[in-house]
Amino acid sequence: MNRRATEAIMMNRLKHLMFLSAAFLFSFNLALAASPQMQDTSRHLYDRVMEEFKHKDYEAALAGFRFFLELHGQSSLAANAQYWIGECHFRLGHYQEALKSFYDVVSYYPLSPKLAASSLKIGQTYTKLKDHEKARMMYERVVDQYPDSAEAEIARKALETAAAPNEPTVQPTE
């Protein structure tokens, strides 16, 4: 990589770090205020980090979601942030880290609306790791525990694909 590209990357990361620092100070000041303002602050930060993810800046989103959990680990969005940490790792090809993040959602947020999605992503991650037995078990779990969900439909297709050799594989979805 040439020097200009390296400098541009460093400047982009520095700007992102400055944004996160400002968000932290803003969040800290609001934490001293009323609780509804704290919820607004956590939502604002979460939405800002989701924009990084939507723009496929997975490194920045990963840092942002980690930062979000440090500040707002007890918020109603904490499970979602943990899920998106897993998605960032998955998209970056960090499959072991993705597994840990998705398992953390399942383990620490048992009432989360992200349980079905996390279970499906665990199966998809095992598929990427070529551990087809564990992937099959997770897909079956999704079908059994969330039979009417969109995730169950994707899991069924993955199971069908695994049973039919030489078929194209199901692409992971959000």
What is residue 11's predicted lDDT score, i.e. its pLDDT? 54
Tell me: the pLDDT tens digits for 23-81?
A: 444 444 444 433 566 667 899 999 999 999 999 999 999 999 999 999 999 999 999 99
CATH 1.20.58.2030 occupies which residues in the chain? Answer: 1-93
Tell me: the pLDDT tens digits for 100-109?
A: 999 999 999 9
Q: How many CA atoms lie within 13 A of 88 on its CB side?
A: 24
Which pLDDT band holds residue 163 (cuts at 50, 70, 90)?
confident
User: What's the CATH number of domain 1-93, 3.20.20.70, 1.10.1740.10, 3.30.470.20, 1.20.58.2030?
Assistant: 1.20.58.2030
What's the chain's average pLDDT? 85
CB 125 within 8 A of CB 99: yes
Percent of the chain with pLDDT over 70: 72
Dist CA 57 CA 36 (whole Å) = 30
Mean pLDDT of 116-133: 98
Strands (E), 34-123: none
| Residue 159 predicted with pLDDT over 60 | yes
What is residue 25's predicted lDDT score, i.e. its pLDDT? 45
Please tell me the least confidently modeled range out of 13-22, 39-48, 84-93, 157-166: 13-22
Scan for tokens 């930060």, then name that residue.
Answer: 45
Whose CA is closest to 62, among 100, 106, 26? 100
Q: Which two tokens stand for residue 21?
A: 């620092």
- pTM of this prediction? 0.74
Tally of CB atoms within 10 A around 86? 27
| Residue 147 predicted with pLDDT over 70 | yes
